[in-house]
Amino acid sequence: MNRSVKTVLLTGFEPFGGDSDNPSWQAVQALHGHQIAGHRVVTRLLPVAFSKSLRALRAALNDSSPAVVICVGQAGGRAQISLERVAINVDDARIPDNAGKQPVDVPVIDNGPAAYFSTLPIKNQLLALREAGIPAEISQSAGTYVCNHVFYGLMHTLRNKKLRAGFIHIPYSPAQASLHPGAASMSIEQVSQALRICVRVALDQRQDQAIAAGAEC
Amino acid sequence: MNRSVKTVLLTGFEPFGGDSDNPSWQAVQALHGHQIAGHRVVTRLLPVAFSKSLRALRAALNDSSPAVVICVGQAGGRAQISLERVAINVDDARIPDNAGKQPVDVPVIDNGPAAYFSTLPIKNQLLALREAGIPAEISQSAGTYVCNHVFYGLMHTLRNKKLRAGFIHIPYSPAQASLHPGAASMSIEQVSQALRICVRVALDQRQDQAIAAGAEC
Amino acid sequence: MNRSVKTVLLTGFEPFGGDSDNPSWQAVQALHGHQIAGHRVVTRLLPVAFSKSLRALRAALNDSSPAVVICVGQAGGRAQISLERVAINVDDARIPDNAGKQPVDVPVIDNGPAAYFSTLPIKNQLLALREAGIPAEISQSAGTYVCNHVFYGLMHTLRNKKLRAGFIHIPYSPAQASLHPGAASMSIEQVSQALRICVRVALDQRQDQAIAAGAEC
Amino acid sequence: MNRSVKTVLLTGFEPFGGDSDNPSWQAVQALHGHQIAGHRVVTRLLPVAFSKSLRALRAALNDSSPAVVICVGQAGGRAQISLERVAINVDDARIPDNAGKQPVDVPVIDNGPAAYFSTLPIKNQLLALREAGIPAEISQSAGTYVCNHVFYGLMHTLRNKKLRAGFIHIPYSPAQASLHPGAASMSIEQVSQALRICVRVALDQRQDQAIAAGAEC
Mean pLDDT across the stretch A65-77? Answer: 96
Show residues of chain D in contact with C178, CB under 8 Å.
129-130, 132-136
Average pLDDT, chain B: 95
* 3-state SS, one letter per residue, for C80-148: CEEEECEEECCEECCCCCCCCCCCEEECCCCCCCCEEECCCCHHHHHHHHHHCCCCEEEECCCCCCHHH
D127 interfaces chain C, CB cutoff of 8 Å: no
Dist CA D78 CA B4 (whole Å): 58
Catalytic residue, candidates C39, C71, C149, C169: C169
Closest chain C CA to residue B13: C217
pTM of the model: 0.96
- Count CA within 13 A, CB hemisphere, residue D198: 37
Q: Pick from C75, C94, C143: which is nearest to B140 by CB?
A: C143
| pLDDT the model gives residue B216 | 62
Domain range C7-204, its CATH number among 3.50.50.60, 3.20.20.80, 3.40.630.20, 3.80.10.10: 3.40.630.20
Show residues of chain B in contact with C210, CB under 8 Å.
104-106
CB C29 within 8 A of CB C46: no
Q: C84 catalytic, yes or no?
A: yes
**Encoded amino acid at C157, one letter:** T
Mean pLDDT across the stretch D178-185? Answer: 94
Pairwise CB contact (< 8 Å): A135 & B183: yes
| pLDDT the model gives residue A18 | 79
Cβ-Cβ contacts under 8 Å for C105 (sequence gap 6 or more):
B123, B208, B210, C90, C91, C92
Pairwise CB contact (< 8 Å): A102 & D212: yes
Show residues of chain B in contact with C104, CB under 8 Å.
210-212, 214
Nearest to A42 by CA among A76, A16, A71: A71
Dist CA C46 CA C54 (whole Å): 8
Closest chain C CA to residue B48: C217
| pLDDT the model gives residue A216 | 62
Interface mutation vs chain B, best among A178, A186, A192, A193, most B CBs within 10 Å:
A178
| pLDDT the model gives residue C3 | 55
CB A41 within 8 A of CB A75: no
- Residue A78, Cα to own-chain centre: how many angstroms? 14
Q: Pick from C75, C95, C217: which is nearest to B147 by CB?
A: C217
Nearest to A168 by CA among A214, A210, A136: A136
Residue A178 pLDDT > 90, yes or no? yes
Q: A137 catalytic, yes or no?
A: no
Pairwise CB contact (< 8 Å): B137 & A175: no
According to DSSP, the residues that pair with C86 across neighbouring strands are C117
pLDDT tens for each residue of B172-192: 999 999 999 999 999 999 999
CB atoms within 10 A of CB B132: 16
Pairwise CB contact (< 8 Å): D185 & C79: yes
SS3 C204: coil
Residue D87 pLDDT > 70, yes or no? yes
A127 interfaces chain B, CB cutoff of 8 Å: no
How many interface pairs between A and B have CB atoms less than 8 angstroms apart?
A: 72
B116 interfaces chain C, CB cutoff of 8 Å: yes
Contacting B residues, span 10-29, partner chain C, CB-CB under 8 Å? 17
Residue B29 pLDDT > 80, yes or no? yes
Pairwise CB contact (< 8 Å): C117 & B90: yes
Q: Phi and psi at residue A87, in whole multiples of 5°?
A: -110, 135
Q: Which of left, alpha, beta for D100 (phi over 0: left; psi -120 to 50: alpha)?
A: left
Closest chain C CA to residue D129: C178
User: Chain C: nearest CA to D166, how far in angstroms?
Assistant: 21
What order do you get walking across the sheet with B68-74 strand by strand? B35-36, B39-46, B7-13, B68-74, B164-170, B81-84, B136-139
| pLDDT the model gives residue A195 | 98
Q: What is the DSSP string of D74-131?
A: E-BTB-SEEEE-EEES-EE-SS--TTS---EEE-SSTT--SEEE--S-HHHHHHHHHH
| pLDDT the model gives residue C173 | 97
Show residues of chain B in contact with A133, CB under 8 Å.
174-175, 178
- Residue B127, Cα to own-chain centre: how many angstroms? 18
User: Chain A: nearest CA to D114, how far in angstroms?
Assistant: 5
In chain D, helix, strand, coil percent, each to 5?
A: 30, 25, 45
Contacting D residues, span 71-90, partner chain C, CB-CB under 8 Å? 79-80
Pairwise CB contact (< 8 Å): B95 & C216: yes
- Strand D68-74, strand D164-170: pairing: parallel
DSSP D207: P
Q: Pick from D86, D88, D217: which is nearest to A74 by CB?
A: D217
Percent of chain D exceeding pLDDT 90 equals 90
Residue A4 pLDDT > 70, yes or no? no
Give me the average pLDDT of each 10-residue run along chain C (217 residues).
79 88 96 98 97 97 95 96 98 95 97 98 98 97 97 98 96 95 96 98 93 77
According to DSSP, the residues that pair with B92 across neighbouring strands are B104
Query: What's the sign of the alpha-carbon dihedral C139, C145, C150, C152?
Result: positive
| pLDDT the model gives residue A16 | 83
Q: Pick from A92, A210, A216: which is nearest to D104 by CB?
A: A210
Chains touching B (3+ CB pairs < 8 Å): A, C
Task: Report H helices in A65-215.
Answer: 122-131, 146-157, 174-177, 188-203
| pLDDT the model gives residue D217 | 65
Show residues of chain D in contact with C194, CB under 8 Å.
none
Q: Pick from A134, A136, A183: which is nearest to B79 by CB?
A: A183
Residue A45 pLDDT > 80, yes or no? yes
Cα separations in angstroms, C183 against A66, A130, C175, C178? 44, 31, 11, 8
User: Chain C: nearest CA to B51, how far in angstroms?
Assistant: 16
DSSP A76: B
Cβ-Cβ contacts under 8 Å for D150 (sequence gap 6 or more):
D11, D46, D53, D54, D57, D71, D73, D167
C160 interfaces chain B, CB cutoff of 8 Å: no
pLDDT tens for each residue of D128-156: 999 999 999 999 999 999 999 999 999 99
Interface mutation vs chain A, best among B80, B83, B123, most A CBs within 10 Å:
B80
Out of A12-26, A94-108, A129-143, pick the least confident: A12-26
Q: A147 catalytic, yes or no?
A: yes
| pLDDT the model gives residue A46 | 98
Dist CA B165 CA B70 (whole Å): 6
Catalytic residue, candidates A39, A71, A149, A169: A169
Q: Which of left, alpha, beta for C36 (phi over 0: left; psi -120 to 50: alpha)?
A: beta
Mean pLDDT across the stretch D16-29? Answer: 90
Dist CA B147 CA B167 (whole Å): 8
Domain boundaries, chain A: 7-204
| pLDDT the model gives residue D28 | 98
Dist CA D116 CA D104 (whole Å): 20
A159 interfaces chain B, CB cutoff of 8 Å: no
SS3 B146: helix
Q: What is the DSSP string of B157-202?
A: HTTTS--EEEEEEE-B-HHHHTTSTT--B--HHHHHHHHHHHHHHH
Pick C71 or D211 by higher pLDDT. Answer: C71
